[in-house]
Amino acid sequence: MGKEIERKFLVKEGKWQPKGEGELYRQGYLSTVKERVVRVRSAGRNGFLTIKGATVEYTRLEFEYPIPLKDAEKMLDALCEHPLIEKQRYHVEHDGVVWEIDVFKGENKGLIVAEVELENETQEFDIPDWAGQEVSKDPRYYNANLVKHPFREWGADG
């Protein structure tokens, strides 16, 4: 059984700069009900189908399967809810832990989120100085919700 244990933080403006080109991710959702999401993703030259359960604290069930890139692209264009999530992903090592930093594009341009996957919910880790407010439990920052309520539509109140 697959599990994802993840913590998310906003990246402080001006505190982090991308190194290298990162990798372009396009992703969309076939299902976004509270109990589960079904995601299609293209990442570089690879395609994936991912099923995730509901989040409890920082953990949820996750099953991910490689699929042909052409199939992923067709599903993204023809079957997934729009707008798609488009982001440039960077991997940054900090204090022995790899962080994934997503610089969103399109409808979510301006949003930069850093995620760290953990072995267990009590794992200690050092938070980099460029990581700001934790948003792990804020559903607005779930990618599936960013499809329905893109970042650019948020007002001053979020």
Range of the domain at 60: 3-153
Domain-embedded: residue 158: no
* Whether pTM exceeds 0.85: yes
Q: How many domains does the chain contain in total? A: 1
What is the set of active-site residues? 29
- Does residue 65 lie within any of the structural domains? yes
Which residues 6+ apart lie within 8 Å of 87 measured at CB? Answer: 24, 25, 102, 103, 104, 105, 108
Is the pLDDT assigned to residue 156 strictly greater than 70? no
Mean pLDDT value across residues 82-94: 96
Q: What is the pLDDT of residues 53-62, one digit of tens each?
A: 988 888 899 9
In this predicted structure, the answer to whether residue 158 has a pLDDT above a threshold of 80 is no
pLDDT at 17 over 90: yes
- Domain membership of residue 102 (yes or no) is yes
104: domain CATH number is 2.40.320.10
Above 60 in pLDDT, residue 15? Answer: yes
pLDDT in tens, 69-87: 999 999 999 999 999 999 9
pLDDT tens across 112-142, in order? 999 999 999 899 999 999 999 999 999 999 9
